[in-house]
Structure 1
Amino acid sequence: MKQGIHPDYHYVVFEDSSTGYKFLSGSTATSKETVKWEDGNEYPLIRVEVTSDSHPFYTGKQKFTQADGAVDKFNKKYGFKNN
C-alpha cells in the first residue's frame, strides 16, 4: 500500500438513533462526539438511523405488498391474455 493516501482506519461505536442499540466496528468515519465502551476505552460515536436492530428485514416486521390479483390486473390493463 502507498503511504499517506489511505484514510485512518480505527474503531468507532455506531448507535441506532431509533432503538439505542450500539456496536463497535472498524471504520474510517470520524466524530467529535465520544462514548465510553464496555472495555473502558473511549471511542468516537457515530449516530445512524437504521441498523440490523431496527431494519424491518432483520426484525421480521417487514411489510409485504399484496400480490393477490396483481398479475391479472397488469395483464388486463395491458391486454395480455392467458394462453
Structure 2
Amino acid sequence: MKPGIHPAHRPAVFRDKAADFAFPTRSASTGERTVAREDGTTCPVADAEASSASRPFPTGTARALDTAGRVERYGRGEVR
C-alpha cells in the first residue's frame, strides 16, 4: 500500500437502534455525533439499520429443492 494516501482510521461506534445494540470498531468516518465509551473516550457514532443483533444470519428459512423430481420430469419430456 502506498503511504500517505489512505484515510486515518480511528475508534468508532456503530449502533443498531432497532436492537439497542452498539459495537466498537475502527472507521475512517468523521461523524458530528459522538458517544462516550465505557473507558471514558469519546468516539464518533454511526447508526446502522441492521446488525447481527437485529437480523441474525442465517435466518433459518432454507428451501429444499427437489432435483431428483425435476430430472425425472425432464426425462419424460414434461419440462422444457
TM-score (ref. length: structure 1): 0.70
Find the counterpart in structure 2 of residue 67 from structure 1: 64
CA distance in 2, matches of 1:35, 1:2: 30
Change (3 A) 1:80 1:16: same
* Superposed displacement of residue 6, structure 1: 1.0
Please give the secondary structure, in 2, of the residue aligned with 1:7: coil
Aligned residues: 73
Q: Point out where structure 1 has 5 or more consecutive residues left out of the alignment.
A: none
Please give the secondary structure, in 2, of the residue aligned with 1:81: helix
Q: For each residue in 1:3-57, what CA deviation from the matched residue of structure 2 results, as whole angstroms up to 9, or x when unmatched?
A: 2x11121000110121111111111122110011111111100001121212231
Written as runs of structure 1 = structure 2, the 5 A alignment for 1:1-83 is 1-3=2-4, 5-57=5-57, 62-67=59-64, 70-71=66-67, 72=69, 75=70, 79-81=73-75
% same residue? 29
Please give the secondary structure, in 2, of the residue aligned with 1:56: coil
Question: How large is the Cα RMSD of the aligned pairs?
Answer: 2.3
Q: Point out where structure 2 has 5 or more consecutive residues left out of the alignment.
A: none
TM-score (ref. length: structure 2): 0.72
CA distance in 2, matches of 1:16, 1:81: 51
Assess if the C-alpha contact under 8 Å between 1:14 and 1:47 holds in 2: yes
